[in-house]
Amino acid sequence: MSGLFDGKLRVATISVLKQLLLFAVVGLFSLNGLKGAETLELDANQNVFIVLAAINAAGYDEGVTLPDNSPLRAQLRDYIAKQNIPVLAELQRYYKKHLKKNSTQDLAEYISYALSISGPPDFKWRTRDVEVPPDALELAEFTPLLIDFYHQANLAELWKRAEPVYQKELVRYQPPLIAMTQRVQGYLRVPADGYLGRHFHVFVDLLATPEQVQTRNYGDDAFVVATAATNPPLFDIRHAYLHFEIDPIVIKYGVDLATKRSLIDFVQTAPLDKGFKDDFVLLANESLIKAVESRLDKNPNEIQQAARQGFILTPFFAEQLKDFEVQPQGLRFFLSDMIGAMDLNRESARISQIKFDSATLERAAKTITTEAPQAALSPSAKTIDQAEDLYAKRSLEPAKQLYLKALEQQGSAAEHAQAWYGLARISVLLNQPDTAVKLFQKTLDASPDDQTKAWSYVYMARLARAAGEPADAAKYYQEALAVSGASDRAREAAQNESKNITRNQEIQ
């Protein structure tokens, strides 16, 4: 078969390269060495190419006759079959000896290995041996064979010839992937560079069985390896990206979630992996992600389907997300309100009505149509998000400076109200009640969203109580309760604290 490896080096068209350069300039992804954003990367991976070229030569034949294979796979296999490669027989013996129960497990092991090595010419581990994933470490003896195969098959040259084919695939992936990631960021209200040092990589592979998606999380790096497909597997990539964004948020509130752990007893008969039946935070995390997916897809049927599969908190989180969508805070701050609103009695009654499926669903392949990207966060909103993070860590002075900066930046009235609200809360912590009252009044005057408005009244009521003014406090609590979009926690605080005022007046 003639093709890329017949001695004629083919190159990408100028129009394709122009598109690649354009996307790199946009700054959302780094493409083949063109540095873009710190956290997102869409690319082909040389290590994956080399390792999968080796196992294709060694006996990995799964799916080789399927019509949706990339022609590149057949061309490479044909080329290698015609070469005199001394190490090939030993490579084949090694591959056969290390076969797993099925081809999916075989592929998974070699992809883990490819993501764990530094690449040619030495193919050393990227990290210390103790940090190498166990399934990759099992292939340690594969390395000397891979080194010989790399040189004898001239894979450095083959990689150069294959790169233009990968580049065309990347151009096909870029528009929907950019739209998807921007929409997720906009929905969750997380900045693109919100987790310094963490990276999300999407690698396109053309040498494995088609329609496969492999995901890995190694330290601060999340990897998605997508094989040849008629349409980019956006549902699976989006699911991995939601984990990338949401996992650290849920972990942050692990202690709070642990107080609701009794609900895990309900899932012991559900068709779930054991990990979900043992780890309530893991179960809550996956339930939240499935709830977000249902809201993004505008498909309420996904909520009950997830619940029947054992992700019992999906209905609860889907309800909470409706409140989340109409207020300005990012998920990493609003999740605290969600957890606080989780009533064990109410959820137990709801979950007890769920009839679990008898087996895990095998999701049929489908194409996810991504909508146009939502508008990016305003400069003010981005600054407020950073300030809230500092406030949560009680780094008050840096948070104060960012809230002040947000007031000077472009943003909506509700966003500026959020900045005043942040400054007011800092004054409370600094024991500056007079200043705090003025700043909460600024918040109320600046057209805040309902949740910020309700909490501002609660804080003003507390300050009035501390100043010995119970009548004013009672008035502010009633104002808080009158806010239609008040969060459950704000409403509960206003009700309970208002009752305390009444009780104290009766005692007096």
Tens digit of each residue's pLDDT (9 = 90 or more) over 75-97: 999 999 999 999 999 999 999 99
Cite the beta strand spans of 320-421 per DSSP E.
none
> pLDDT at position 311, please?
98
- Domains within the chain, CATH numbers bracketed: 14-226 (no CATH), 253-351 (no CATH), 379-507 (1.25.40.10)
Best CA proximity match to 355, nearest among 387, 401, 308:
308
- Identify the bridge partners of residue 117 per DSSP, sorted by sequence position: 125
**pLDDT score, position 171:** 94
pLDDT, tens digit, for every residue of 107-159?
999 999 999 999 999 999 998 887 899 999 999 999 999 999 999 999 999 99
Structure tokens at 383: 């600054």
**Cα atoms found within 13 Å of the Cα of residue 82, Cβ hemisphere only:** 10
Phi, psi (deg, nearest 5) at residue 132? -75, 135
The maximal CA–CA distance of the chain, rounded, in angstroms, is: 99
Q: What is the pLDDT of residue 377?
A: 60
What b/e readout covers 317-347, taking b as 16+ CB neighbours within 10 angstroms?
A: bbebbebbeebbbbbbbbbbbbbbbbeeeeb
Q: Is the predicted pLDDT of residue 439 greater than 50, yes or no?
A: yes
Encode pLDDT of 314-339 as tens digits. Answer: 999 999 999 999 988 899 899 999 99
pTM: 0.69
Among 68-77, 222-231, 374-383, the least confident range: 374-383
